[in-house]
Amino acid sequence: MAVNLKVWDVFKAMTVPTLNYVSCPDAGQGHRMAWWEWGDADAAHVVACVHGLARQGRDFDVLAQAFLRRAPGPLRVVCPDVVGRGKSDWLADPQGYVVPTYVSDMLHMLGALHQRAPIRTLDWVGTSMGGVIGMGVAGTPNLPLPAPVRRMVLNDVGPVIQWQAIARIGTYIGNTGRFDSVQQAADAMWAISASFGPHTPAEWLALSQHMVRPLPEGGFTIHYDPAIAVPFRTITEESAAQGQAALWQAYDNIKAETLVTRGAQSDLLSRETALEMTRRGPKARLVEFEGVGHAPTFVADNQVEAVASFLFEEQSEDEKPFGGTG
């Protein structure tokens, strides 16, 4: 029986992502950033899903597959491993682990995607650090984006990041550890990630398995460069407060329709800041998830539905790529 290879390729891309790399400049010899791609590699509609500080792109497996089922037309979902995490290179100079580097890398990734197949519609889903990167991408004037960001999801992050959350993260960031098994590593990550909200053991293991890499001498460790902690640990309560003005400026510049998702018990994004985000800049919609802190993982059905319905609700004619659905 003859098989339509295009249909098969699309079906396969809905169940298994492809791993891609882009070369990015830095102060040294440059580095490669990896990204995971789901869906139709030629689709004009791209959704970029960008993870948190010590996570990686496979965090979005459940969400990406839901997007492909829900999208009204061809779709590419791209989930980068921010440099220093997952399959991406580690930087020679740890001082490069800062948001301007990450924004630059995203522009190179989007440029490579656009060169391969033109991007007409661009959406962004950013969890925690990925949301800060998104504010930089969408809120910095005159960046060479292949298309303006149309819709943006900021997951449990805003221009004001609560100091107690920074202090809490500082107690474990950079401590990648050594474990005898993937399950042992998953258990250790759960001990510091209970604020992510309820997960079944199978859901948590699925989220954890891509966070772990084997060690040459045996055993496993968490899959990121411990040196990402170097610039993080230079943050003081005073410098964090000073950075708020720049983040608010970026947020106020965002033209994309914006959704803020918040864990109702979040210690990083206060309800006060989230409500202020509904009143200024893009005047975001706000959805809160009970029983969840920092940060929602977009595995639970209600979380997936909140994001998918926002991205794929009926589009106006000027939003539709090529005048059709997308």
For the chain, domain boundaries:
5-174+224-323
Cβ burial 235-263 (10 Å sphere, 16+ → b, else e): beeeeeeebeeebbebbeebebbbbbbbb
pLDDT at 322: 32
CA 324/CA 326 separation, integer angstroms: 6
Token reading at 146: 């292949």
pLDDT digits 0-9 by tens, 19-71: 999 999 998 899 999 999 999 999 999 999 999 999 999 999 999 999 999 99
Each residue's pLDDT, cut to its tens digit, for the chain (326 residues) gives: 444 545 545 555 557 899 999 999 998 899 999 999 999 999 999 999 999 999 999 999 999 999 999 999 999 999 999 999 999 999 999 999 999 999 999 999 999 999 999 999 999 999 999 999 999 999 999 999 999 999 999 999 999 999 999 999 999 999 999 999 999 999 999 999 999 999 999 999 999 999 999 999 999 999 999 999 999 999 999 999 999 999 999 999 999 999 999 999 999 999 999 999 999 999 999 999 999 999 999 999 999 999 999 999 865 444 443 333 22
Token reading at 116: 């391969």
Domain 5-174+224-323 grouped into CATH 1.10.10.10: no
Among 50, 51, 49, 64, residue whose Cα is nearest residue 15 = 64
Is there a contact between 123 and 229 (Cβ–Cβ < 8 Å)? no
pLDDT at 9: 53
pLDDT at 4: 54
CA 59/CA 298 separation, integer angstroms: 9
Token reading at 288: 């809160």
pLDDT at 161: 96
pLDDT digits 0-9 by tens, 97-124: 999 999 999 999 999 999 999 999 999 9
Specify the pTM.
0.92
pLDDT at 246: 95
pLDDT at 314: 67
